Chain A
Amino acid sequence: MRPVKRDYAPSRWRYRLARWWLSPRVRRMVTRWVPLTVVATVAAIVATDPDNQAYAAKQYDAIWSAIEARPEFAVTGLRIEGAGPALSAQIREVLDVQMPASSVSLDLSAARTRIEGLPPVASAQIAVGADRQLVVRVRSRTPVAAWRRMDGLWLLDVEGTVLGALDSREARADLPLVVGAGAQNHVREALALAEASGPLAERIQGLVRVGERRWDVVLSDEQRVLLPETGAVDALMHVLALQLGEEVLERDVAVFDMRNRARPTVRLGTHAVHEMRRLRAMETGEDA
């Protein structure tokens, strides 16, 4: 018997499958979740195998070293700008780069932090230049004052940063000497005082910070000028004016007290006191 010839119709299973495929949940599952799960499972299986991990690490290292070895990334030299020989040596030491190096493996920001950690360095810029040189531009701190402490003599910059030890005062006789606790926080004022001293400059022994609030200027012959907390420079100018007019400091004066600007006070030296007493006795007719 011949099979009956019929019009086309989808078979029952085909029809069900088509309807199944059209329902959004099934479609989302088949097109999204099933592939995602399969991929995630395979990835997890591959990734957890130690052999694979070792192989991946090896491959990674190989690729990384190949990149590092590229001549385009080579850094052939180091150039340090704005630093003296001693500081340059220090920078070279903290930088710790073996030349030739590869620019991809250089951690420039960390290197910069390390260089800026050096006391004599105010700020640093670090870059690989077009000529394949590692260029370090340093703005170094300059010592402006010598600071005497119990444990020795130290160099200070304007900010008050301790730059290093000073072996002897004579090595940097050009720098003013400051003494006393808290002196490092007022280096600027001390410098202004030293600058303003003018004709007294060669007589100044040093500046003493007293009670962490005001300055004394110590002159040769153990003379002292006591300055106020505020307006110290003006007070010093006042003293200079008196020196020019009256030559007060040439006389036997132990302490010139300017702490009260309205009433400059003078403490006389021992000899002057005796002389004054003798002269007063003569005036009153008594025997000295």
Chain B
Amino acid sequence: MSESLFLSQRIMRDRRESALRKGLVAIVDLGSSKITCLILAIDPALLRAPRADGVGRLDGQAGLKVIGAATTRSRGIEFGEIASMEEVERGVRTVIQSAQKAAEVRVDHVIACYSGGQPRSYGLLGEAEVEHGEVTESDIGAALADGEIPDYGAAREVIHALPVNFTLDHRTGLKDPRGLTGSRLSVDMHMMTVSQESILNIAQVMRRCDLELSGLVHSSYAAGLAAMIEDELELGGACIDLGGGSTGLSIFMKRQMIYADAVRLGGDHVTLDICKGLEISAQTAERIKTVHGGLVATSRDDRDLIELPRDSNDHSPGRQMISRAELIGVMRPRVEEILEAARDGLDAASFEHMPGRRIVLTGGGSQIPGLEEVATRILGRQVRTGRPLRIPGLPQDQTAAQFSAPVGMALHLAKPQDECWDFEMPADRAGKQRIRKAIRWFRDNW
């Protein structure tokens, strides 16, 4: 793995650690339809109080508290990527300021998540001999460094690199091999890349708002963490985050994300279809979609008439009415298209061969009535809609499905997984390592 990547991610990780020590972190979800900010007060002592089985008190969530929350309509983000710097900056300013006002504190550290950047997943395998019989961090580092990095392109950047599975000799499925005895360690890694300019744009927005970007999470990952329950994470499942501009898709297995993807289709496309099909304004279309929208037509829907508001230039007398069945007829093909795209993504990851095949639908789009039925027909699996986990202090109006990604980020913050950059690189570290060993020896013995 390249040194510069390690460095940049390490710096970000260090900033996150310092923010955690300081006890205040802002979480900003840059979505295509809304920008959300949660200000979290963190009690590091509670956060780091794991039980013997590695699960902390309330799984680490007792240390978190949402003390300020704000949401605003998002402008200038298309397909989850920043399209207008000025507008996004204004949006971030708005949410940060109102969340700060609610929390009555000033936050400097921001962890952002976004759904664009055309994520791509890579599976990597690294192997190393165990040096001293017992697996140490340096062995893990060596194994991770051994993984052959695919050529992911010049304009792309790694956003997540997670050691997913460790195999020590013949034992596989280890989460943390440190301290175990063996001779040959191999590690499966999941690496996720996004386009470089999307990261740089987000960093630029945060800089323009005088904030320090101390972490970046892809929203498909975050949404999965928030919307899936323990069993689904453990046994394997997929989370489909139906957002406004894009649909995120993540597959979890043994609590690790093993695949993620995003489809550049979302709820906004449904709105646009209604807008074009019924010849009404986009705002009206959005309202009709949220109030009357549905996916499964019944005979009653033919009689359910929806009055369309007229725009100000329409001088014709009489009211314009459509039946709900018509609306469903407009919405359904697009939703099916989105779900089919998601299915293609799942197929690419050979999701059908996985043991547990629960699919969780979350995000704002998952609130369309009848979605579960359509999704079951298309995805052919056991499907449910999921809302984010309740974390302390989360306002009632932020517990809806469209807030999965910010809540997931809070959970990710509470229980950060060891990512690849947490381990030492074996290259050119002989001198340093020796000094470090000496220091460690001193610290252990004195």
A residues contacting B by CB (< 8 A) are: 6-10, 12, 15-16, 18-19, 22-24
Contact = CB atoms under 8 A, between A and B. Distances in A.
26 contacts: A6-B75, A6-B90, A7-B72, A7-B73, A7-B75, A8-B94, A9-B90, A9-B93, A9-B94, A10-B93, A10-B94, A10-B97, A12-B93, A15-B93, A15-B96, A15-B97, A15-B209, A15-B210, A16-B210, A19-B97, A19-B100, A19-B106, A19-B210, A22-B106, A23-B106, A24-B106
A108 B210 CA distance: 70
User: B interface, how many residues as a size bin?
Assistant: 10 to 19
Contacts of B94: 7-10
Nearest to B208: A12
B307 interface: no
Rank and list the top 10 A-B pairs by shortest CB-CB distance, nearest first: A9-B90, A22-B106, A9-B94, A15-B93, A23-B106, A10-B97, A19-B106, A9-B93, A10-B93, A18-B97
A17 to B, nearest CB: 10
Contacts of B97: 10, 15, 18-19
Contacts of B106: 19, 22-24
Nearest to A20: B106
Contacts of B96: 15
A22 B100 contact: yes
Nearest to A19: B106
Interface string B69-102: 0001101000000000001001101101100110
A180 B91 CA distance: 109
Contacts of B422: none
A19 B97 CA distance: 8
Given A7-B72, A10-B93, A18 B210 contact: no
Contacts of A23: 106
B105 interface: yes
Nearest to B87: A6
B210 A9 contact: no
A18 B87 CA distance: 20
A6 B90 CA distance: 10
Contacts of A9: 90-91, 93-94
A15 B95 CA distance: 11
B418 interface: no
Interface in B98-127: 100-101, 104-106
Given A7-B72, A7-B75, A18 B91 contact: no
Interface in B122-147: none
Interface in B283-330: none
A23 B106 CA distance: 6
B329 to A, nearest CB: 33
B70 to A, nearest CB: 12
A5 to B, nearest CB: 11
Contacts of B91: 7, 9
Contacts of A15: 93, 96-97, 209-210
A18 B72 contact: no
A19 B26 CA distance: 13
A10 B99 CA distance: 13
Interface string B194-217: 000000000000000110000000
Interface string B41-77: 0000000000000000000000000000000110100
Which among B90, B91, B209 has the highest number of chain A CB atoms within 10 Å? Answer: B90
Contacts of B101: 18
A3 to B, nearest CB: 14
A10 B90 CA distance: 7
Nearest to B103: A22
Nearest to A23: B106
A287 to B, nearest CB: 123
B210 A7 contact: no
A83 B97 CA distance: 85
Given A10-B93, A15-B210, 7 more contacts: A7-B72, A12-B93, A15-B93, A19-B97, A19-B100, A23-B106, A24-B106
A9 B94 CA distance: 5
Contacts of A12: 93
Nearest to B101: A18
A18 B96 CA distance: 10
A286 B292 CA distance: 169
Nearest to B105: A22
B217 to A, nearest CB: 24
A160 to B, nearest CB: 77
B104 A22 contact: yes
Contacts of B100: 18-19, 22
A6 B75 CA distance: 9
A15 B73 CA distance: 18
Contacts of B209: 15
A165 B100 CA distance: 91
A6 B91 CA distance: 11
A184 B101 CA distance: 87
A12 B94 CA distance: 10
A12 B209 CA distance: 8
B67 to A, nearest CB: 13
B143 to A, nearest CB: 44
A44 B276 CA distance: 75
Contacts of A18: 97, 100-101
B382 to A, nearest CB: 41
A167 B90 CA distance: 109
A125 to B, nearest CB: 63
A12 B210 CA distance: 10
Interface centre among B93, B94, B100, B210 (most CB of A within 10 A): B93
Contacts of B75: 6-7
A70 B100 CA distance: 60
A9 B97 CA distance: 9
A6 B89 CA distance: 13
Contacts of A8: 94
A8 B72 CA distance: 10
A19 B163 CA distance: 39
A88 to B, nearest CB: 75
- Looking at A9, A22, A23, A24, the one whose CB has the most chain B CB atoms below 10 A away is A9
Nearest to B75: A7
A18 B209 CA distance: 12
Most buried by A among B87, B91, B97: B97
Contacts of B104: 22
